[in-house]
Amino acid sequence: MALSESQIPDTAQHYLECGIDDCEKNCLFYCNPCHQPMCEQCRDEHQKSPETKNHEVVPYRERNCQLPVEKCRDHPTRNIDILCDECNVPLCSKCSTMPVHKGHSFTDLETIYTEKSAACREEIQNIQAYFIPTSKDLQSEIKIDATVLKTIMNGIRSFIGDEAKFLKTMVDEVTSDNIEQVYKLEGSLTEMLQGQDKTYQDYLFYLEDLLKKFHGYLSSTQLKNNPIIFPLTELLKIQPIPETTKPVFPEFTAGLYSKEDVAKLLGRITVPVTKPEKRKIKSMEAASTQLKLIQKQGKQVEEKSEVKQTLSLSSFVTKVREYKVPGVHELRHVSLNKSGRLWISDGSGDLVQTDPQGNQLQKIRNSGGVYGYHTFTQDGDLIYTNQYNKVINRITLDNTITEFIKTRDWEPISIYSSHINGDILVGMIQEGKGKVTRYNKTGKEIQNIQRDTKGQELYTYPSYITENINGDVCTSDYITHVVVVVNKSGKHRFSYTGQGRMFNPRGLCTDLLGHILVCDYSSGTVDLLNQNGQFLCLLLTQQQGIEEPYSVCLDNENHLIVGQKHNNTATVYKYLQ
């Protein structure tokens, strides 16, 4: 890229013509007394001439700067060319003989001007080569942070809306259950009162019949068969009035809740109580190599391209590096925290902790996990499932292992911790059925996702699980060979069945742009979808050395880490720019 005139440092070696007569050769030298640029041949002649043989001729870059011509105010025929060291005032040579400057020392103003000009040029180079590019890098970093902030806040707003909808649905369900209970209680009490009413109606019929009999006895003109002349003991045994009970009417106890209680149900927006990390500013020493190169070449190195305000897909995928992970024979799942610490598991139940260089730090034998069964929480703890013991364990930063959640009758096989609100999503199975259960960060169960709106089962074997930036829950099903995506409320959004004849989805993850990246074990590809399920491309194929992709995750630089079944090598790719 060509440099504009304003971008060329003052010390750069431009192509200059020799200033001696009509000589047009390349200028390499400079006579300080004459202030004349000259070529090598003219320099030799200049130094041979009796008049100029004692002149100081230097390489052009080491030339003295020619003073601007300024006439002395007191001696208009003379130029200002010296500096009084005591008075710090520029003067002409005749001024130095005046009584006011008697005994003072003087310095050649051209020497001072040359030194100060060189210092200015050096600062100009520093500003152009270091301060401006470094400041622009920081400015670009801020723009990226602003983009990430907007993405996160949009996700939080979506979460808040979904939480409200979910709570409203639960309120409607509880209200419907209460009203249904009122109808049942009303029906039961009405049936009881109707029975009591019939009891007294039957008793009244009995009394009316008895009255008719007694009136008949009294009005009869015959004594022979009239029961009244006989003992009335039996006749006067009137059946007692039936006893009944008064109904116990139900009461409605109003819920005791406040705005604070509702806020607890819906969740809160919190800012972690941590000291903000200062942005890293590149030191001048780190830029010294670049600065020396600029000075050597005599022109400014091209500035770095401005980082785009938003990330985008790169036109091609680049392998950044790869490293072997000791202690495992395949990479079925990878979990990565903010500090770069990794936990990697294989199909034999080995769970290994490594540093970013692949050095083994810790190893755990966990026979109760095969697929995406571990994840990092917002606090930096690792949580992992044990399918057969039906528990979720936690490993704290001091490597203490504790039992965190019991899943009762369901077997947990996959797990993911939300980066936004800390919720824990767990894929579970039981007797040929699957579901996704949501827990809050303390381990309290708050949601179960199992069927769609038509009552159809969504999952059979949810072996890997993740969450997108819009709150969608994404799972890959080992048995039905499909990627299932539901929204935060559990409503089915779409399913993805791959691009080939056979589709065996394994590990999956999402990025800051909402892309869904899925390992297709059968075709040996990593498929890229947008957040609405539209297929975008085969991001990685066998041409990039992919054979049996099993796990994917993103590191802190938005690079994709891919683990495969046939080896213990983690490969890192750059696909965003």
The structure tokens listed for 432 are 């040929």
Domain assignment present for residue 26? The answer is yes
Which residues of the chain fall short of a pLDDT of 50?
1-14, 294, 296-309
Residue 257 shares a structural domain with residue 335: no
- Long-range (24+ apart) CB contacts under 8 A made by 229-237 are none
Give the amino acid at 27: C
42 and 181 together in one domain: no
Instruction: Tell me if 256 is assigned to some domain.
Output: yes
pLDDT score at 297: 44
Chosen domain end from 462, 483, 515: 515
Phi, psi of 112 (to 5 degrees): -65, -45
Evaluate whether residue 324 is within a structural domain.
Answer: no
Instruction: Give the pairing type, strands 374-376 and 82-84.
Output: unpaired
CATH number at residue 344: 2.120.10.30
Residue 449: other Cβ atoms inside 10 A: 25
| Location of structure tokens 């994917």 | 552
Show the tokens assigned to 177. Answer: 């259950």
Q: Which residues contact residue 381 at a Cβ distance below 8 angstroms, ignoring those fewer than 6 apart?
A: 394, 395, 396, 397
Cα separation, 168 vs 176, in Å, equals: 12
**Does 554 map to a domain?**
no
- 453 and 373 within one domain: yes
Residue with tokens 């009162």: 193
Q: Are 414 and 371 in contact (CB under 8 A)?
A: yes
Decide if 375 contacts 422 (C-beta within 8 A): no
Is residue 384 domain-shared with residue 510, that is, in the same domain?
Answer: yes
Those residues with Cβ within 8 angstroms of residue 275's Cβ, 6 or more apart along the chain or in another chain:
none
Longest alpha-carbon distance in the chain: 186
Cβ 308 vs Cβ 526: under 8 Å? no
**Final residue of a structural domain among 485, 515, 545:** 515
Is residue 319 within 8 Å of 310, Cβ to Cβ? no
Is 530 a domain residue?
A: no
Alpha-carbon distance 501 to 485, whole Å? Answer: 21
CATH number at residue 21: 3.30.160
For residue 27, the enclosing domain spans: 15-63
pTM of the model: 0.50
The torsion region of residue 64 among left (phi > 0), alpha (psi -120 to 50) and beta comes to beta
435 and 361, same domain (yes or no) = yes
HEC-encoded secondary structure of 83-126: EECCCCEEECCCHHHCHHHCCCCEEEHHHHHHHHHHHHHHHHHH
Residue 8 covered by a domain: no
At a CB cut-off of 8 Å and minimum separation 6, what does 561 contact? Answer: 334, 336, 552, 553, 554, 555, 570, 571, 572
> 369 and 239 in one domain?
no
- Cβ 437 vs Cβ 447: under 8 Å: yes
d(CA 520, CA 565): 12
482 C-beta neighbours (distance < 10 Å), count: 17
Written as six digits, the tokens of 201 are: 């109606």
Q: Which of 515, 539, 554 is the last residue of a domain?
A: 515
**Strand (E) or helix (H) holding 322:** strand 313-324
Report if residue 394 sits inside a domain: yes
What's the domain count of the chain? Answer: 3
Q: Is residue 4 part of a domain?
A: no
SS3 (DSSP) at 264: helix
Residues 364 and 448 in one domain: yes
Q: What are phi and psi for residue 29, nearest 5 degrees?
A: -130, 170
